[in-house]
Structure 1
Amino acid sequence: MKVIGLMSGTSCDGIDAALCEISGSGETLRAELLDFSCFAFEENLRERILRACNNGCDAQEVARLNVVLGEEFARAANNLIEKHGKVDLIGSHGQTVCHLPAEKVTLQIGEAAIIAARTGTDVVADFRPRDLAEGGQGAPLVPYVDWILLRHSTKNRVALNIGGIANASILPANCALKDVRAWDTGPGNMVIDACAEALFGVPFDKNGELAARGNPASWFYGDMARLSSFFVESPPKSAGREEFGARFAAGFHALNRDLHDILAEVTWISAHSIANSLRDFSGFGEDFELIISGGGAFNSTLLQMLRDEIPGATILRSDEIGIRADAKEAIAFAILASETINGIPTNVPGATGARKAAILGKIVRA
């Protein structure tokens, strides 16, 4: 069946839309990417979303944004439908504006009823609350998809998605789903983007070129806990703007140092926190393939820092094994939606800490 996956991540910069042909379910599921598009948010809308994420607006504004984003997600889906014809299903992650896993609270907005009405297509949305209801973190949810797409019969693999937050899925050679573990490692692009915007007036550090001109010599080498207790917590764990948003980034904006050095510093923090987390918790040592997707896969400086931090690992962009790096999360929510319709549980208790596997999402019929 043809399924559209819609995703807007913690970077809050726009909507990724992936059209997939999906067949089978469970271990036999196969997914082919047919088309992919990115739809940037207008700056005014992005600012409104960021204010909502940073507790800068009231409930009425969140309700308005839920409607506005529903229209935006519907527009992204209809763009693909107009090009390729009717689809069978849409999976929409929505836009996270609050994620407090310790309190079992999460909120993704982008009204699914609007998407269903505008597209004439059934929609699966609101994937995270069921995992939280089962005692989990509500994140990460991509490990099931990583297991479907990336497990290997003889190789240990780590699937690393570097979005606003970085998350890692641990896939031992020939693993069953119950063997998969995953967690958020800390900031991915979130702090880098915030510093690029504050210090250089650009929305992100393209290819890591600005950070490459700096020196990441740090006063806290080996003491990441001084920055955030999150770095020394054991999995399962998940993070968001609550941990690494505007307040965290502001501490770096204010440093009396060369601006390129500051950007190099926060890029190193992302690389070092990823590497530390994998060393401490993957169980692989350095003998594994690290397969990277997400926007951070295109930051050459960040990738080189990862190579320096984990010299024994084979580091690949997911494109190199046939999975488009910038489309993977949108593909993931197409797959998760398909499995929900098939009645297949897709949270991974070893990743989220949930008491049991559960069928995720809410279905809105067209």
Structure 2
Amino acid sequence: MIFFAAALIDIYRFKVNTLEKPVSSSQINARNRLLRRLPNDALCFQLGNYNVEIVDIHYHLPNFKKCIWHSHSFFEVHIIINGQGRVVSHNGTKIFKEGDIVISRPNFEHSWDTDVDDLYMYVIKFELNRVKDTQNSVNPVDIVLAQLFDVEDFISQCPEDAYRAIECIENEINSPKPGVHYMLMNYTRELIISIARTVNDALAGVSESVKLEKSEQDHLVVLINKYLEDNYKKDISLDMVARFACKSKRSVMRHYKAATGMTVIEKLLQMRLFEAIELLLEDYDKPVKTVAYEIGMACESYFCRQFKRFFGCTPTDYRRINSAKIDAPGQ
């Protein structure tokens, strides 16, 4: 308890307004070190028939501009305070910007990056586990929380309720008063429910006109993706794709990007790189140059550059790392 009070007094010196950029990396570091200790003591609670455990709450450091391909066992929520960036996954590339909330569910493989130098994000990581052998009936909170598992790389405008909850959490952390644990739990409950409501509203609030437009776009996407799947090992151009779809290049580019968040060429590259992973692990003796050729990329150096940009390591390193995992005892 003495340590806890002392830690709160320490962070009071580095008071940060949640909705503004922290003024220095030292402030962020000091605050983050404390916040990473607090959740283990304070932020474990039950919502409906779910147990919630806050794994981490911290500010993202602005000089960290890229996260390699990864997944994790918890929900990860980014609230974008300033700047913009991209989330990359099997679903494509999606853009996030100031004022957005980005939600990634457990075990969802993704990466993100940014071109700006002032990307500030508030990050909340939490585990959500159904209570085993519960005798309680399902309630509306359970239904809303369960929908969090239905989204993979969800991006939407951050609700005001979430900002307000974050500000209250900050005020509690920066003010050493009795009962801080309980207040943190209450405000964090509000934050989790606000996040879940945002997902619920987004899934339920799609209008018929949007559904119709999305249906038309989805049909074109399915058509183009089928063509790419059948021909990605060949030398494909956007002109060839447009002729196949009986659309102009401009129309293909506009509709495909609107529906998927990525261009046709980016999707083609993604297909090739995921196939490259299969080939790299299928035959460890196959040269990287041969793998590049078999996926339709004649230039080995270009293939290696794109592979590293997408997965965060070279094809050779990826093969070595995954070979070590397979050979490790217990794997």
Higher RCO structure (Cα 8 Å, ≥6 apart): 1
So what's the TM-score if we normalise by structure 2? 0.23
TM-score (norm 1): 0.22
Larger gyration radius, structure 1 or structure 2: 2
